[in-house]
């Protein structure tokens, strides 16, 4: 095939992949299944009749595409989320993957009538939850899940590849005779996790320093600069014997959780690169498949998938999350979202390249299991969430976003909020909203109408409200516009300045249940200035975990979160 024909073919397949994504939301079919279908239709046994059975090339291209997907996933995973769920995610990505692999491998050896080691190898290949599949399904599901659940799924899927790679490479080494001692396996395990983590952290910190200080003349180069560090993290870890997948994911988390210039442009670029990676990866893997071979293992593959989905994953989740007190509904949901995708198919090329006996059978069975997982678990995720009463419809994509820290680091953002019917701000006059110093509502879009904010302007459901604010205040403002915020308290040590005439009722509306409304009838209408006046010479008052004190400016009062009541 000539280079011109190859470029034409790549363009047509990319176009088909993009167009097929339009059918995902309409018919409820995960986009990864549609991309795989495009590749299978174009493959050697499909309508396109394109011959492709180059497993080393597929492995190399798949690794690069996965690095793009994981880097984007890391950029969108906040460090706060990681700190909140890292113990749970670590348990799922190690103990959970090990148990899933063991139970599935035992079933595979029995169903396919192959040696135990080959069965365990198949179980190891499909043992991890696939980041590309999880990010894709969560993005297109139209659901907003509880923060803890979303963070657990994202961090688990982004960090469990090293365990799957360790088990896969270790078993290949044992089967081929290249790895025989426990010391070799221990070193492989430490290298996958240790080197991957260190390279991700180091390259991520270097990326922050470089992006904010290089002062490029052309803004379009900043997203490419960030991408280059992601690829460096992946390649450096892989060259040193660690997990490149873990390294690029951690580098993305470190970079995305920091204040960087051209942040929105960098995020938009990598969102597009992640889509390109998904289309390229799944279309290529579809080309690599042979439907006739899949049909030959359909019965056995269905049994293996059934054990994996119904037995192995739920048992592994129950054991791995036992110390972390998840509700039963959350455990059921975590068990169901053990999605398989590109990583198992990519790992299934390793035995083929190593010449492991029965590796072609393993590859075909893995491909069939991935298809079953994507079709059943991916398609039914919104239905299962509604059945378990978990999550709610996701917020609409903002109509407009503005970046004010493009040229230099600025401690501020302009955020587009959509007013939801159940939000605390819905139906409120702007003059009645208790906004702290450092927050200003600048513009309201109501349908096609532009409304200039004034004290007597009432916020209506459906309004787009543009709010200029200091960066540290964004989590609190997010809760004001969230119709179903999760219970939480402001961080200890946070100091906010409010107008002295702000009432206790307004303050309660801003902080929610964290700010108590105790006292005599009518106390809720008292102002902060009046509260301080009643406190006498000490000039401070305590309201639950908050300390009220005067500010240097006479028209302001400081509200400090001090944690639990002394």
DSSP annotation of 288: H
Rounded distance between C-alpha atoms, residue 320 and residue 330, angstroms: 13
DSSP annotation of 420: P
Question: Which residues in the chain come in under a pLDDT of 50?
Answer: 399-400, 520-521, 565-566
The predicted structure's pLDDT at residue 314: 93
Q: In whole angstroms, how far apart are CA 189 and each of 96, 318, 426?
A: 15, 24, 52
Rounded distance between C-alpha atoms, residue 297 and residue 292, angstroms: 9
Q: Which two tokens stand for residue 308?
A: 């994996």
CB 413 within 8 A of CB 488: no
Rounded distance between C-alpha atoms, residue 253 and residue 71, angstroms: 8
Rounded distance between C-alpha atoms, residue 223 and residue 470, angstroms: 24
Rounded distance between C-alpha atoms, residue 94 and residue 99, angstroms: 9
The predicted structure's pLDDT at residue 520: 43
The predicted structure's pLDDT at residue 140: 62
Rounded distance between C-alpha atoms, residue 94 and residue 318, angstroms: 13
Rounded distance between C-alpha atoms, residue 340 and residue 117, angstroms: 21
Rounded distance between C-alpha atoms, residue 428 and residue 490, angstroms: 23
Of the chain, the end-to-end C-alpha distance in Å amounts to 76
Domains of the chain in start order, with CATH, are 54-392 (1.20.1530.20), 395-486 (3.30.70.1450), 490-566 (3.30.465)
Q: Closest by alpha carbon to 232, among 188, 202, 275, 212?
A: 202
Q: Closest by alpha carbon to 59, among 168, 139, 142, 203?
A: 168
| Dihedrals phi, psi of 516, to nearest 5 degrees | -75, 155
The predicted structure's pLDDT at residue 30: 64
């Amino acid at each position: 095939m000539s280079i011109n024909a190859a470029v034409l073919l790549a363009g047509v397949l990319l176009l088909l992949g993009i167009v097929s994504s339009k059918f995902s939301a309409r018919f409820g079919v995960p986009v990864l299944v549609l991309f795989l279908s495009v590749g299978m239709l174009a493959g050697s046994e499909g309508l396109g009749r394109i011959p492709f059975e180059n497993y080393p090339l597929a492995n190399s291209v798949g690794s690069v595409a996965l690095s793009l997907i994981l880097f984007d996933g890391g950029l969108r995973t906040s460090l706060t989320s990681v700190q909140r769920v890292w113990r749970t995610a670590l348990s799922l990505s190690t103990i959970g993957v090990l148990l899933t692999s063991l139970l599935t491998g035992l079933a595979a050896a029995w169903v396919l009538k192959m040696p135990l080691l080959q069965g365990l190898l198949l179980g190891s290949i499909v043992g991890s939850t696939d980041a590309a599949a999880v990010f894709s399904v969560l993005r297109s599901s139209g659901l907003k899940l509880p923060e803890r659940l979303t963070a657990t799924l994202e961090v688990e899927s982004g960090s469990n590849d090293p365990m799957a790679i360790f088990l896969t490479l270790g078993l290949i080494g044992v089967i081929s005779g290249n790895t025989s001692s426990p010391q070799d396996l221990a070193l492989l395990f430490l290298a996958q996790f240790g080197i991957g983590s260190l390279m991700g952290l180091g390259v991520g910190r270097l990326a922050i320093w470089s992006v904010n200080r290089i002062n490029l003349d052309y803004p379009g180069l900043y997203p490419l600069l960030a991408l280059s560090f992601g690829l460096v993290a992946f390649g450096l870890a892989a060259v040193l014997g660690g997990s490149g997948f873990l390294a690029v994911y951690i580098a993305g988390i470190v970079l995305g959780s920091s204040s960087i210039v051209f942040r929105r442009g960098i995020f938009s670029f990598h969102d597009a690169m992640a889509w390109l990676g998904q289309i390229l990866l799944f279309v290529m893997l579809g080309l690599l498949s042979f439907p006739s071979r899949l049909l030959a293992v359909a019965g056995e593959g269905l049994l293996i998938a059934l054990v994996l989905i119904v037995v192995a994953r739920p048992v592994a989740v129950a054991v791995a999350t036992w110390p972390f007190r998840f509700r039963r509904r959350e455990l059921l949901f975590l068990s169901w979202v053990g999605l398989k995708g590109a990583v198992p198919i990519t790992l299934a090329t390793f035995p083929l390249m190593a010449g492991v006996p029965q590796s072609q059978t393993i590859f075909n069975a893995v491909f069939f299991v991935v298809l079953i997982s994507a079709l059943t678990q991916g398609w039914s995720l919104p239905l299962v969430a509604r059945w378990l009463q978990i999550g709610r419809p996701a917020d609409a994509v903002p109509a407009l976003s503005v970046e004010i820290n493009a040229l230099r680091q600025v401690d501020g953002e302009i955020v587009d909020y959509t007013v939801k019917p159940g939000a605390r701000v819905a139906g409120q006059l702007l003059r009645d909203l208790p906004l702290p110093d450092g927050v200003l509502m600048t513009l309201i879009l109501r349908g096609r109408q532009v409304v200039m904010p004034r004290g007597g302007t009432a916020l209506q459901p459906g309004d787009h409200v543009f709010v200029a604010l200091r960066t540290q205040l964004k989590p609190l403002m997010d809760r004001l516009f969230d119709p179903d915020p999760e219970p939480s308290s402001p961080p200890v040590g946070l100091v906010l300045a409010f107008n002295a005439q702000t009432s206790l009722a307004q303050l309660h509306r801003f902080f929610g249940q964290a700010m108590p409304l105790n006292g005599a009838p009518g106390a809720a209408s008292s102002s902060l200035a009046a509260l301080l006046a009643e406190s006498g010479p000490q000039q401070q008052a305590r309201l639950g975990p908050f300390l009220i004190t005067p500010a240097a400016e006479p028209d302001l009062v400081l509200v400090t979160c001090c944690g639990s009541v002394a």
